[in-house]
Amino acid sequence: MTDLTRRPGGNIPPSSSPEGFSRTEGKSLLRRQNAEVANGLVAAARVQAAGYVAATGMHLTGMLSREAQFQSDGDPPDHRTP
């Protein structure tokens, strides 16, 4: 099993684990670490998606508000001199 993120110590083989851990415990630890990294990536993607939806909604609301004002006030006068 490979790491999802690079370890700070450099090229440490994926099978390495803290001293005192058996091979099975080391694999379990690595599997849990990878699961947490994956959960973090999913959570970050969801937050980014929610932010995009909120920003798009605010932008469209502003556009609709401007259009409503334009429709109610009519065409603004032309301030250029002929």
pTM greater than 0.75 = no
Amino acid, single-letter form, for residue 1: M
- Would you put residue 76 in left (φ > 0), alpha (ψ -120 to 50) or beta? beta
Contact of 14 with 2, CB cutoff 8 Å: yes
Give tens-digit pLDDT for 49-76: 999 999 999 999 999 999 998 888 876 6
Give tens-digit pLDDT for 32-53: 999 999 999 999 999 999 999 9
Rounded-to-integer distance, Cα 4 and Cα 40, Å: 12
Q: How is the chain split into domains, by residue range? A: 33-71
pLDDT at 8: 60
pLDDT at 21: 86
pLDDT at 23: 86
pLDDT at 9: 60
